[in-house]
Structure 1
Amino acid sequence: MNSLRISQLRKTFGGLTAVNDLSFSVEAGEIVGLLGPNGSGKTTVMNLISGALAPDAGDIELAGRPIAGQAPHKVAHAGVARTFQLVRVLADMDATENVVAGLAFSREPTWGAQATARAGELLARVGLARHARTLAGELTYIDQKRLELARALALSPRLLLLDEWLAGLNPSELLEGIALVRSLKDEGVSIILVEHVMDAVHSLCDRCVVMNAGAKIAEGTPAAVLSDPEVIRAYLGDASA
């Protein structure tokens, strides 16, 4: 069974069609890159999947269960977790408390000492063990991204939505980040990766879906879609195609 199935998804804002009859699927344990130039509708798709927005039309199913239009906390309980293009941490809470907050919304909510211990494990996994009691607002930008991922993993997701999580990393951090994402795939987590770092796309993605102006214009392996003339036009313009 597909981990995720999206069929004829549509979202408009006034006269702008942000997502136009989009369909694709993600298998269990597969990484699918959701690519496209800025403004192509990628983050809107992430918002529709996670419940931040309700679609105007179309279906979203996770493990055969309809989730389109459900409240974000219900989508989280169904097994969807995400990070954000603009990092969102609970700045006045420490790193452990941020992850404990995520554990409260997981498919199997965890509390008390058990939650604190599990939060420590997740912080260690993303490289933040030494910052367990550091206020989230005092962390560097990169460490805030790590914290946001730890909080997402606290939900024990079936599907993880990573919205430019690898952006802004230096070369060594990028290698660490790629290895971490790959380890999640190896554990059977399905991942949708919105990313402009092409080294990461080539290294991680089994397939890519490319959007432009809200519509899907290509789907296939990273090598195939990134050499597609229509994709090159979307990114670079007609003069460079």
Structure 2
Amino acid sequence: MSRTVLEVQGVTKRFGGLVAVRDMRFDVTEHEVMGIIGPNGSGKSTMINMISGLFPPSEGSIRLKGAELAGLPAHKTARKGVGRTFQLVRLLPELSVVENVVAGAVFGHRRRWGKPAEAHARQLLERVGLGASIGLPISSLTYIDTKRVELARALAGDPEVLLLDEWLAGLNPTELATGIDLVRSLRDEGRTIILVEHVMDAIRSLCDRCVVMSSGAKIAEGTPAEVLSDAEVIRAYLGEDEDA
């Protein structure tokens, strides 16, 4: 039986009088891909931001292999073993491609410095399909390639849990297929991933289980087939998506 890696228990986030996330509860097991889905404004990214340390929860507990993360700042959360990408790619434009990934190796879960960090970064850039772009400036990259660099940087710290916040957003159909294949290859390596995504083909093909959020609360949890056939999910998310 797979062990639990991440536990989210009773997590609530308030911004003044707005409750963005309310009493969220779910576990993620080792080597699992967990999807967090729901309509825009349902609290998905706020939940990811709390797991990664960008926001502290107002209430509740977030534990990584038994260690409490709730309230830790982002850099300490990364050290504990949480790596992430962002909806809007956040790279360091003054650094080269390989230097951006080296930063992930230096400041991530498992620290690497100097030549070992650069060798690790180069290996990961090969892994995500950017072996020929190692020395290029960030400004020369296509959109999907900036996403690959950010993914390599997140992987460079050898995270226990990888958070992908709409990593596939904004890609054209060819890039989307490439992106899904890349995330699938990470899953096949046995990585533990939490995936926030609107692309249903990705959810169906990549996720072992899904949590569905609506108005800040969990309304369903199960396999993709189970949640995507749930009447409340169809009303809250799929029906809204079809009307968009």
TM range (shorter): over 0.9
Which residue of structure 2 aligns with residue 195 of structure 1? 197
Residue 6 of structure 1 is aligned with which of 5, 8, 12? 8
Cα distance between partner residues in 2 of 1:230 and 1:137 = 44
Alignment of 1:82-231 (within 5 A): 82-231=84-233
Contact 2:187 2:206 in 1 (8 A): no
Contact 1:90 1:137 in 2 (8 A): no
Deviation of 1:168 (Å): 2.5
Cα distance between partner residues in 1 of 2:170 and 2:109 = 31
Contact 1:54 1:68 in 2 (8 A): yes
Contact 1:162 1:191 in 2 (8 A): yes
Aligned letter for 2:149?
L
Count of residue correspondences: 239
Secondary structure at 2:63's aligned position in 1?
strand
Secondary structure at 2:4's aligned position in 1?
coil
Q: Any unmatched runs of 5+ in structure 1? A: none
Deviation of 1:77 (Å): 1.1
Contact 1:39 1:213 in 2 (8 A): yes
Which residue of structure 1 aligns with residue 68 of structure 2? 66
Deviation of 1:65 (Å): 1.0
Aligned letter for 1:62?
L
Contact 1:89 1:137 in 2 (8 A): no
Which structure 1 residue ranges, 4+ long, deviate > 6 Å from structure 2? none
- Aligned alpha-carbon RMSD (Å): 1.5
Matched, 1:16 2:4: no
Q: Describe the superposition over 1:77-108 as per-residue Cα deviations: whole angstroms up to 9, x where unpaired.
A: 11100000011011111100000111101222
Deviation of 1:138 (Å): 2.6
Which residue of structure 2 aligns with residue 53 of structure 1? 55
Q: Describe the superposition over 1:180-220 as per-residue Cα deviations: whole angstroms up to 9, x where unpaired.
A: 22222233321110011111100000011000000000111
Secondary structure at 1:104's aligned position in 2?
helix
Length-normalised TM-score, structure 2? 0.94
**Identical columns (%):** 59
Length-normalised TM-score, structure 1? 0.95
Cα distance between partner residues in 1 of 2:25 and 2:159 = 22
Contact 2:82 2:109 in 1 (8 A): no
Deviation of 1:58 (Å): 0.3
Cα distance between partner residues in 2 of 1:22 and 1:103 = 31
Aligned letter for 2:221?
E
Cα distance between partner residues in 2 of 1:18 and 1:106 = 28
Cα distance between partner residues in 2 of 1:71 and 1:29 = 25
Q: Describe the superposition over 1:39-97 as per-residue Cα deviations: whole angstroms up to 9, x where unpaired.
A: 00000000000000000100000111111110111111111000000110111111000
Deviation of 1:136 (Å): 1.4
Aligned letter for 1:69?
G
Which residue of structure 2 aligns with residue 234 of structure 1? 236
Cα distance between partner residues in 1 of 2:177 and 2:78 = 28
